[in-house]
Amino acid sequence: MIRKLDDLFVLNTDATTYAFRVTNGGHLKHLYYGKRITFDNGDVSFLEEGRELPPGNTSYYSDAHRHISLEYLCTEMSSRGKGDLGETFIDVTFPDGTGTTDFLYEGYELGTGSPNLDGLPSSHDGGAKVENLTVTLKDSHTGLTLELSYFVYADCDVITRSSRVVNSLSESVVLNRLMSSQLDFADGDFTLHTFTGGWVNEMHRNDIPVTSGKYINSSITGTSSNRANPFVMLSKGIADEEHGDVYGLNLVYSGNHFECAEKTIHGKTRILNGINPEGFSFVLEPGDSFIAPESVMTFSPIGYGGMSRNMHRFVGHHILRGQWEERPRPVLLNSWEACYFDLSEEKILGLAQQAASLGAELFVLDDGWFGQRTEDTRSLGDWHPNPDIFPEGLASCVNKIRDMGIDFGIWVEPEMVNVDSDLYRAHPDWVIDIPGREHSEGRNQRLLDLTRTDVQDYIIEAMSGVFSSADISYIKWDMNRVFSDVHSRALPPERQGEVYHRYALGLYRVMDALTKKFPHILFEGCASGGGRTDLGMLCYFPQIWGSDNTDAICRADIQEGYSYGYPLSVISAHVSTVPNHQTGRITPMETRYAVASFGLLGYELDPGKLSEEELTQIKEQIATYKEWRDVYFHGEFYRAGSSAGLANAEPTTWTVVSPDKSRAIGMNLQGLGKPYSHFEFYKAAGLKPGSLYEISTSPSFDEGSEKYIVRGDALMNAGIRTRTFLHGTHINDEIRHYPDFAATLFYIRER
């Protein structure tokens, strides 16, 4: 998979090729990344420029190489100075105040195995052979060392990268930036696709033509953030779900990140990703090193869908790990929208009993169970059960719930503290704030300073006490504010630029310790919903609460946004009550279930306030989901249409297909209702063209249901008219009315 031919390095996956070479001057010249090609020898003249670049008003590299301009050359990394005016890969300040570097090829090493990044999460081999390459560069003037590492996951058509700088000088240097990956393209009509939003409004796709200048997607919230997810796409020319060249990039990191696409005056396009250089600096003493997070790259010549499925396979096989890596997740009922802070043991037991009677497998007690947590201004950090809620203790209540035949989970927010708490009163120096200045609060709480080992140890000890205090099967780990007024009392002034990254390292140490100590617990990550949906978190927590927004129509857009870079089998989705608590919208129960079933199904409502008809619907939904859960969880996901069109009555179509293509589930979700609509279709995807399939709206394919028997190619290319299946209301003999936001699920099985 990795070959060295003379000065040429070739990295092959099953379907892609990545190639670069060492120039006569010692630079790493990027040549190609795309559909797999063959190099019979080291001759790459067919990929070289046809002429030397006249200097014009550009700076040439050196007297010995007057024809070389680093502003024009496509490279594997870039730095400040020597004529490169583009966005830089690495930026260092030396003791004399200068920052020019000139990293030239020193050597290489081939090996096998996935990354080991010393405190940072990373991908794992998943039982497959992973070949790796490390290329060593040295600054021609100072001897500062830079290592570029590449890891090839052939089965997923993914290549990951990381970088490491080593201070081989006798004095300290300041690292101002170190990116994880850089892609330079000599040409290209590219579009950058980012996924942005905010609280209850995550993952909206933006399409930005990269015509000239720089386009930046980044977070400075201290987290990967709901403002701008670290996953981005780059498409070339015309691309859609099934056609066109599409690149996907992501970062295995949960802190401030940075993605930049830049097109230069020479037509070169550069894209970088890594830790956000804003607010970042790191002092490297002699002998110290710094490792950048792992960057994930994939390419597909068959559009966004092909790229997404590459990413989905990579996350499933090489990011998730532990006992829950491949285990389907339990159907749950969460207490939050049913109770908020109004809790009592009687109410908790009642909800759990109702959840069990509906067929749910897990009851989750959300915020409000500890200390004097009757509102969000108090008691964060005081992790002991409220005796007014649990007169006989938490364990006694949990045992009663377990006796109902249902598992128990609980909510925590370990990284936070309220000023009105016993913890803050005992340790006011444990928070991130600026001494002597008024602090900018977020949700009435402050961040514990996870750059400190003593704070990390406290969280590990406190959470271990909670997790072992009762028979707990699930933890919802929340984080409900952004970083502001960032300062650590544990670091000197010259190292305050290290706070963001050291916090992430501290968090990873905490999560690593707790997930190893409690391997049986299913952990779900949450940060005001989707504020920390990233590959770093998924290395520890195998699922994410993608948004605090439970409205089905909003969720369709949010979940589709996630699906470009993340499998929906890691995104929790709940059926909630109507009118919805975030939007006030009323949607059919069928629609709420249809959208939620394409994630990890849960319910967030009070069953005691539902009608018998609604309770029966939920029982049937849960039973159906369990029957088809393996298809949802292990299947390949296909998009068609767009959730962005819902407001204009355009349908959204999703399909998930089992690995052996014998079973599938499809969904058509319409927008605003249209009268007398006879012309919409459901088209499946991912089936065997020559196989015969049965399709029905009944998961049991019972005799009374409407169904067709269709060849796979017909079902995928022609589709079926959905008017036969949509559940509408006859107004008279000629006009049929379909309610706003109606959804239909189609169950498909090979005959």
Residues belonging to the active site: 478, 548
- Can you tell me the distance from the alpha carbon of 367 to that of 340, in angstroms, rounded to the nearest whole number? 7
- The encoded tokens of residue 510 equal 């905490």
Q: Which amino acid is at 243?
A: H
In sequence order, what are the residues at sequence separation of 6 or more whose Cβ sits closer than 8 angstroms to the Cβ of residue 205? 193, 194, 195, 561, 564, 644
* 19 phi, psi to nearest 5 deg: -140, 140
Helix (H) or strand (E) holding 104: strand 103-112
- Asked whether the bond before 493 is cis by omega within 30 degrees of 0, the reply is no
- Can you tell me the distance from the alpha carbon of 5 to that of 718, in angstroms, rounded to the nearest whole number? 48
- Residue 163, SS3 per DSSP: strand
**What are the strands, taking DSSP E only, across 190-301?**
190-196, 204-209, 213-218, 232-236, 245-252, 257-263, 269-275, 282-284, 289-291, 294-300
Helix (H) or strand (E) holding 151: strand 145-153
* 391 phi, psi to nearest 5 deg: -60, -30
**Could you tell me if 295 and 180 are in contact, meaning their C-beta atoms sit under 8 angstroms apart?**
yes
What DSSP character marks residue 47? G
In sequence order, what are the residues at sequence separation of 6 or more whose Cβ sits closer than 8 angstroms to the Cβ of residue 744? 590, 594, 667, 668, 682, 697, 722, 725, 726, 727
* 239 phi, psi to nearest 5 deg: -140, 150
- Residue whose pair of structure tokens reads 């088809």 in the numeric block: 628
Side-chain-facing half-sphere of 639: CA atoms under 13 Å: 26
Q: Which amino acid is at 684?
A: A
- Can you tell me the distance from the alpha carbon of 470 to that of 530, in angstroms, rounded to the nearest whole number? 28
Strands across the sheet containing 2-5: 2-5, 8-12, 16-22, 28-35
Sign, Cα dihedral of 331, 333, 624, 600: negative
* 251 phi, psi to nearest 5 deg: -135, 130
- Residue whose pair of structure tokens reads 């002998």 in the numeric block: 287
Side-chain-facing half-sphere of 258: CA atoms under 13 Å: 22
> How many other CB atoms are found less than 10 A from the CB of residue 659?
11
Please report, for residues 59, 82, 139, 303, the alpha-carbon distance to residue 66 in angstroms, rounded to integers and kept in the order given: 9, 12, 19, 41
Helix (H) or strand (E) holding 681: strand 681-682
In sequence order, what are the residues at sequence separation of 6 or more whose Cβ sits closer than 8 angstroms to the Cβ of residue 702? none
Give strand pairing partners of 654: 639, 667
> Could you report how far apart the first and last alpha carbons of the chain are, in Å?
39
> How many other CB atoms are found less than 10 A from the CB of residue 35?
13
- Can you tell me the distance from the alpha carbon of 617 to that of 606, in angstroms, rounded to the nearest whole number? 14
**Could you tell me if 582 and 549 are in contact, meaning their C-beta atoms sit under 8 angstroms apart?**
yes
Q: Which amino acid is at 236?
A: K
Sign, Cα dihedral of 79, 80, 82, 86: positive
Closest CA to 356 of 377, 333, 383: 333
Please report, for residues 103, 328, 597, 663, the alpha-carbon distance to residue 627 in angstroms, rounded to integers and kept in the order given: 57, 12, 12, 12
Please report, for residues 25, 61, 88, 107, the alpha-carbon distance to residue 64 in angstroms, rounded to integers and kept in the order given: 9, 8, 24, 22
**Could you tell me if 381 and 424 are in contact, meaning their C-beta atoms sit under 8 angstroms apart?**
yes
- Residue 697, SS3 per DSSP: coil
